[in-house]
Amino acid sequence: MTNRSRWIASAAGSLMLLGLPVLAVLAHAQGPVGSSAPAAGSPAAFASGSIQGIVRDETGAPVAGAVVSAVGASPSVAVTDHQGRFDLPALPPGPYLLRAHITGYVAPRAQMVDVRPGGRAVSAIALRRRDASTVLAAGVAGVPDQAPAALEPERDADESGSTVAGDQGELAWRLRHARRGILKDTTLPDVVLVDERPAGAGSLARIATGFFVDTPFSGQLNLLTTGSFDTPEQLFASDNLSRGIAYVRLGAPVGTSADWTIRGALNQADISSWILAGSYATRVPARHTYNLGMSYSTQRYDGGNPLALRDVTDGSRNAGAIHAFDTFAISPAFGVTFGARYARYDYLDNRSLLSPRVELTAAPAEHTRVSAEVSKWAQAPGAEEFLPPADSGIWLPPQRTFSSITRSGRFEAERASRVAVEVEHDIAGSTVALGAFRERVDDQLVTLFGLDMPEQPNAKIGHYVVGNAGDASATGCIAEFRTTTSRVSGSVAYSMTNALLAPGHDIRYFVLLAPTVLRADAERIHDVSTSIETHVPETSTRVLVLYRVSNGFARAGEGAEGPGVDSRFDVQVRQSLPFLNFTNAKWEMLVAVRNFFRDTAADQTVYDELLVVRPPKRIVGGVTMRF
């Protein structure tokens, strides 16, 4: 079409628009003739609108036979034709939820379309094949009724015969006719935002936009308050729950074979601290399954406890760690896991700690597995404040301060080696495991809470002292039962250990402060650990309970003459808050109480939790949002 032809067509269209009122008057004067349709320009003609559009796949090809539904003031359904087009006419004005479905495709999220009186809303919906790796966004634009009838208007041809998009091309037309609000914001359709990208556009901005638009992120946000107490009176103290914590987790898949996750938490009170961690893990089944990660944490104390400030040179402590493990499936019945963890603590004399591990797993028969593990690990005093928690733990930044039990203020890391063998067998949805282990520990760590040290200021609940009890050796066996049902999953483990703890160079301090830490002879330790996790769908409540009881706990008090029976617990209650849910975000209320000092991780010795004296109870409460 030449410029002259376009000018004539535009003039003719203007004359037709000017003549519409005259035709309406004539039609009203003559009365209805063979038709009940309302006259043009009457309110009835503008009482309804329509939604038109096209459905394409991730390559831009039209999708025929897709069912398009609009749910709103008046529900309507249409089926796309061979060109992927659909038309939903005669819709009362108002918002509509627009979706498209067809077998073999993954539908995007529903669109919210606003139908204006007498207007036509244009929608471009992008479906993704189930085997496709990209996800396209969907856009909606409100278009006035004077828009061209065709969704893809003809384009001008240049002198060489090639088709180009001129001033009257679809892209220019859509940019001119996109409906604007009071603040001049514009919602553009997908054919403009996705399909009309300039050829060869590979800028950093486009890559970043595609990353955030096409990646199915998942995450979590925790807003928590924590405190510690040793007696009921301390629980209700005015300054007990004075520490606020913010925690964020963000993750996404890497194609179809791996996932990455970034986590962070920070705390602001008399202790300013934060922790940041990232991980990358491939999925099974695969010949090589990788688990990589790093973490970094810092703690700065601005309070007035002299005992906490004594061993901190510049007011802060920093710790970082990286780990890398590979599970190599040599055959369907045999595999090996190997790797190491490297940590660095700036408050140690020997700051670098290396912890390697090798584990062999075999499946000699169906539902039966045999594993053997050889590992060494090193743990710094106060490492519990800086390390990421276990899967069941709540992420908290460093919140407690610690100091050395010696006047010199020096810290010695605990180093241990372990050899273990375990046999597992599945029985009707449950698992029975039997195992044996042997371990050797150098400089076994001891943690003391709430003790008054000679010629030292009193320690507070949020502060503890650490020392080394000596070298330990242990040999034992363990039996465990695990089961999972539709509502409850749990485990019970019993272990019997023959252990010997030889006193070390800090014995003179423990004789005065905690004599039950010292063990004169070899002892037999009995330990029972229980884990129960349940979900109540009627109330959308989840409860996790961890409990451990043993006869080898060190005790405090004047009447304590040796180790005795004591327990540790961790109770977490998560209550869903459906009235706060919006889009795909889920809100929960979290309340947790625990007196475990260490998380129930595999890399801890027999004495690690047993030699924690008078750990206070910690309470955590707040809200959690998952998306």
pLDDT in tens, 452-471: 655 555 556 678 888 888 89
Same domain? For 147 and 178 the reply is: yes
pLDDT score of 131: 63
The predicted-structure confidence for 130-161, as pLDDT tens digits, reads as follows 764 433 334 444 444 444 333 444 444 443 34
The predicted-structure confidence for 525-540, as pLDDT tens digits, reads as follows 999 999 999 999 889 8
Confirm whether 469 is domain-assigned: yes
Question: 514-539 b/e with 16+ CB inside 10 Å = b?
Answer: bebbbbeeebebebebebebeeeeee
* C-alpha–C-alpha distance, residues 198 and 373, integer Å: 56
The predicted-structure confidence for 322-352, as pLDDT tens digits, reads as follows 999 999 999 989 999 999 999 999 988 888 9
Best-predicted range by mean pLDDT among 48-57, 492-501, 585-594? 492-501
Confirm whether 293 is domain-assigned: yes
Same domain? For 343 and 290 the reply is: yes
Same domain? For 453 and 565 the reply is: yes
Same domain? For 196 and 295 the reply is: no
Same domain? For 190 and 315 the reply is: no
Does residue 623 register a pLDDT over 70?
yes
Confirm whether 16 is domain-assigned: no
Confirm whether 26 is domain-assigned: no
Confirm whether 114 is domain-assigned: yes
C-beta atoms surrounding 553 within 10 Å: 21
Same domain? For 165 and 282 the reply is: no
Contacts 24+ apart (CB under 8 A), 127-134: 127/55, 127/56, 127/57, 127/58, 127/63, 127/66, 127/100, 127/102, 128/57, 128/58, 129/57, 129/58, 129/104, 129/105, 130/104, 130/105, 130/106, 132/57, 132/58, 133/255, 133/256, 134/58, 134/214
Structure confidence at residue 560 as a pLDDT band (50, 70, 90): low
Same domain? For 442 and 372 the reply is: yes
Last residue of a domain, one of 208, 233, 260: 208
pLDDT score of 459: 53
Confirm whether 442 is domain-assigned: yes
CATH of the domain at 241: 2.40.160
Task: Report the relative pairing of strands 316-331 and 288-301 from DSSP bridges.
Answer: antiparallel
Same domain? For 279 and 197 the reply is: no
CATH of the domain at 94: 2.60.40.1120
* C-alpha–C-alpha distance, residues 421 and 477, integer Å: 9
Q: What is the pTM of this model?
A: 0.65
% of the chain at pLDDT higher than 90: 32
Confirm whether 21 is domain-assigned: no
The sign of the CA dihedral 303, 307, 308, 314 is positive
Which residues are bridge partners to 265 per DSSP? Answer: 247, 275
Same domain? For 226 and 166 the reply is: no
Confirm whether 24 is domain-assigned: no
| Number of independent structural domains in the chain | 2
Structure confidence at residue 182 as a pLDDT band (50, 70, 90): very low
Structural domain containing residue 175: 3-11+45-208
Tell which residue, 179, 262, 172, 257, has the closest CA to residue 217: 262
Last residue of a domain, one of 208, 233, 265: 208
98 DSSP assignment: E
DSSP one-letter string for 127-147: -EETT-------EEEEE-TTS
SS3 for 351-403 is CEEEEEEEEEEEEEECCEEEEEEEEEEEECCCHHHCCCCCCCCCCCCCCCEEE
Same domain? For 229 and 160 the reply is: no
Same domain? For 484 and 395 the reply is: yes
Across the chain, what does the average pLDDT equal? Answer: 77
* E strand or H helix at 8: helix 3-30
pLDDT score of 330: 93
Question: Which carries the bigger pLDDT value, residue 79 or residue 154?
Answer: 79
Best-predicted range by mean pLDDT among 32-41, 594-603, 605-614? 605-614
Q: Which residue has the tokens 């998306």?
A: 627
Same domain? For 125 and 221 the reply is: no
Last residue of a domain, one of 190, 208, 226: 208
pLDDT score of 516: 80
